[in-house]
């Protein structure tokens, strides 16, 4: 697979710290976001996740499409900015903090997973009149397949244009496919490696999260995406996807 290469001046550098996994260097130029890999492989993981979503049947406005690239000689990926000039992205963490002054993650950590899911859905509905059942259901279904162990309240959110709210597109899937997971040793079997991965969203079980809102899910994920994934020429991602899809 041929990889595009970009040379971007540091004047376009943005450092973001609103993640449970630390600070990440990004560049914003020509209405494109460029993200550098931290562990190696995140750009391919983002791309694989967007391929799965593209072939799942949902509208392209509901997810961000990523492309692997080199940024100043380093691996990463790029994507189009999903906000227009009059829009702002509000994380669920920030929305809750602004309204209550409290930490949503801490509040949910004291609840059973199902109560926490319903609490968040109800809170968003009360504040924005948005129903996020489908939004969360699709994310849970995706995360079960790609094993995203960094889905937290700072990459779940809504978009506000000054008048109306809408769910944000699905984005930030780089910590998937065992990328950056130090517990999954190379000598372990694929099943043992996957056993080291836990969800940060509500229940630590990807399967339980997916099952709880499954009736609201509009994704149709199957092995039809494998041919496109194989074009990335990333054996690790292909192997994991075959396992999670039970191919």
pLDDT tens digits, one per residue of 83-118? 999 999 999 999 999 999 999 999 999 999 999 999
pLDDT digits (tens, 9 = 90+) for 126-136: 999 999 999 99
Name 15's bridge partners.
25
- pLDDT for the residue 101: 98
| pLDDT surpassing 70 at residue 200 | yes
The two three-digit tokens of residue 46, written as one number: 């983002």
- pLDDT for the residue 21: 58
Residue the block writes with tokens 């990523």: 66
- pLDDT for the residue 184: 67
The mean pLDDT of 119-127, rounded to a whole number, is 98
CA distances, 33 to each of 13, 76, 84 (Å): 10, 11, 14
- What are the two backbone dihedrals, phi and then psi, of residue 49, each rounded to the nearest 5 degrees? -60, -40
pLDDT digits (tens, 9 = 90+) for 53-87: 999 999 999 999 999 999 999 999 999 999 999 99
Mean pLDDT across the chain: 93
| pLDDT surpassing 90 at residue 187 | no
Question: Please, are residues 60 and 132 in contact by the beta-carbon 8 Å criterion?
Answer: no
CA distances, 126 to each of 77, 89, 115, 120, 159 (Å): 36, 18, 16, 10, 16
What DSSP line would sit under the chain, residue for residue? ---EEE---GGGEEEE--STT--EEEEEETTEEEEE-SSS-HHHHHHHHHHHHHTTT--GGGB--EEEEEETTEEEEEEE----TT-EEEEHHHHHHHHHSS-HHHHHHTS-HHHHHHHHHHHHHHHH----HHHHHHHHHHHHHHT-S---TTSSEEEE-SS-EEEPPB----S-TTTT-TTS-TTS-HHHHHTT---SSSSS-HHHHHHHTGGG------GGGHHHHHTT--HHHHHHHHHHTT-
Q: Which of 95, 120, 125 is nearest to 108 (CA)?
A: 120
Q: Please tell me the least confidently modeled range out of 21-30, 43-52, 57-66, 166-175.
A: 21-30
- pLDDT for the residue 20: 52
pLDDT digits (tens, 9 = 90+) for 148-165: 999 999 999 999 999 999
Question: Please, are residues 20 and 150 in contact by the beta-carbon 8 Å criterion?
Answer: yes
Strand order, beta sheet including 157-160: 88-91, 157-160, 165-167
- pLDDT for the residue 156: 97
CA distances, 18 to each of 22, 45, 76, 150 (Å): 8, 20, 19, 12
pLDDT band for 219, please (50, 70, 90 cuts): very high
- pLDDT for the residue 10: 93
Question: Which has more confidence, 196 or 92?
Answer: 92
| pLDDT surpassing 80 at residue 22 | no
What angle in degrees, to the nearest 10, is found between the helix axes of 42-54 and 235-244? 40
- pLDDT for the residue 193: 83
- pLDDT for the residue 65: 97
pLDDT band for 188, please (50, 70, 90 cuts): confident
| pLDDT surpassing 80 at residue 223 | yes
């Amino acid at each position: 697979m041929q990889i595009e290469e970009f040379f971007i001046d540091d004047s376009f550098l943005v450092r973001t710290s609103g993640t449970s996994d630390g600070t990440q260097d990004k560049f914003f130029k020509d209405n494109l976001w460029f993200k550098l890999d931290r562990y190696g492989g995140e750009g391919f993981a983002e791309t694989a996740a967007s391929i799965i979503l593209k072939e799942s049947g949902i509208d392209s406005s509901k997810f961000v499409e990523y492309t692997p690239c080199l940024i100043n000689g380093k691996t990463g990926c790029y994507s189009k900015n999903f906000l227009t000039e009059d829009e702002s992205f509000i994380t669920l963490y920030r929305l809750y903090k602004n309204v209550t002054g409290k930490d949503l993650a801490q509040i949910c950590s004291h609840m059973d997973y199902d109560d926490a899911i319903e609490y968040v859905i109800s809170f968003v509905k009360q504040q924005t009149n948005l129903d996020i059942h489908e939004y969360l259901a699709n994310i849970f279904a995706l995360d079960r397949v790609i094993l995203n162990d960094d889905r937290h309240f700072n990459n779940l959110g809504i978009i506000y244009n000054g008048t109306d709210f809408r769910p944000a597109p699905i984005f930030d899937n780089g910590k998937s496919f065992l990328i950056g997971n130090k517990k999954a040793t190379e000598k372990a079997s694929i099943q043992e490696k996957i056993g080291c991965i836990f969800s940060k969203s509500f229940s630590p079980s990807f399967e339980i999260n997916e099952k709880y809102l499954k009736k609201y899910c509009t994704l149709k994920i199957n092995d039809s995406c494998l041919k496109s994934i194989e074009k990335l020429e990333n054996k690790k991602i292909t192997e994991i996807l075959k396992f999670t899809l039970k191919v």
